[in-house]
């Protein structure tokens, strides 16, 4: 399964990262790992004032909850909450419907061509038309 992180400034493409994750985890764990890797990547780059848009309602609901969960999913969410509260001040994590996240899904199809994490500093060809249409 591919995970994609796309950084944008308003509607302008800035940077993207794609990575493959093992299917040995549940979908809930894979979705939570997507948020974890996004947080970790932006902490490493010392970003702040970020709006994280996640297309997994289960992940967002767990992230915004104080409920204790001793599963692998719960541990990842707790780690995400710690990263977020420790490193991000003017930021938020919100739900974004899958259907409105066309850029990330185009990038996911492109990511299947690479087995290792890849940073995309230029707009991949698969995203050009989508970005142009969003700017109109």
Radius of gyration of the chain from its Cα atoms, rounded to whole angstroms: 15
**In order of start, what are the domains of the chain with their CATH numbers?**
2-135 (3.30.420.10)
- At 80 the three-state DSSP class reads helix
For range 103-107, the mean pLDDT:
56
CA-to-CA separations, 71 to 32, 85, 121, 134, in angstroms, rounded = 12, 21, 36, 39
Contact 41, 5 (CB under 8 A): yes
Is 35 a residue whose pLDDT tops 80? Answer: yes
Q: What is the pLDDT of residues 49-97, one digit of tens each?
A: 888 888 889 999 999 999 999 999 999 999 999 999 999 988 999 988 7
- What is residue 86's predicted lDDT score, i.e. its pLDDT? 96
- What is residue 100's predicted lDDT score, i.e. its pLDDT? 47
Residues 134, 136: Cα–Cα separation, whole Å: 6
Q: What percent of the chain has pLDDT over 90?
A: 37
CA-to-CA separations, 121 to 1, 32, 73, in angstroms, rounded = 22, 25, 31
- What is residue 27's predicted lDDT score, i.e. its pLDDT? 85
For range 111-126, the mean pLDDT:
60
Comparison of pLDDT for 6 and 45, the residue scoring more: 45
Go through 31-68 and write b for each residue having 16 or more CB atoms within 10 A of its CB, e for each that does not. Answer: bbbbbbbbbbbbeeeeeeebebbbbbeebbebbeeeee
- What is residue 20's predicted lDDT score, i.e. its pLDDT? 72
Residue 99 pLDDT class (50, 70, 90 cuts)? very low
Output the six-digit token pair for 111. 């990511």
Least confident span in 12-21, 38-47, 52-61? 12-21
Question: Where do runs of H (alpha helix) occur along 55-115?
Answer: 57-63, 72-87, 102-111
């Amino acid at each position: 399964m591919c995970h994609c992180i796309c950084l944008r400034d308003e509607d302008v493409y800035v940077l993207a990262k794609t990575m493959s994750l093992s299917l040995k985890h549940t979908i809930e764990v894979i979705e939570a790992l997507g948020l974890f890797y996004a947080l970790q990547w932006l902490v490493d780059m010392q970003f702040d004032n970020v709006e994280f848009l996640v297309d997994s309602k289960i992940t967002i609901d767990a992230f915004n909850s104080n409920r204790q969960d001793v599963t692998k999913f719960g541990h990842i969410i707790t780690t995400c909450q710690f990263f977020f509260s420790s490193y991000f001040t003017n930021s938020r994590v919100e739900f974004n419907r899958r259907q409105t996240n066309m850029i990330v899904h185009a990038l996911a199809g492109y990511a299947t061509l690479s087995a290792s994490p890849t940073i995309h500093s230029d707009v991949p060809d698969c995203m050009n038309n989508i970005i142009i249409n969003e700017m109109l």
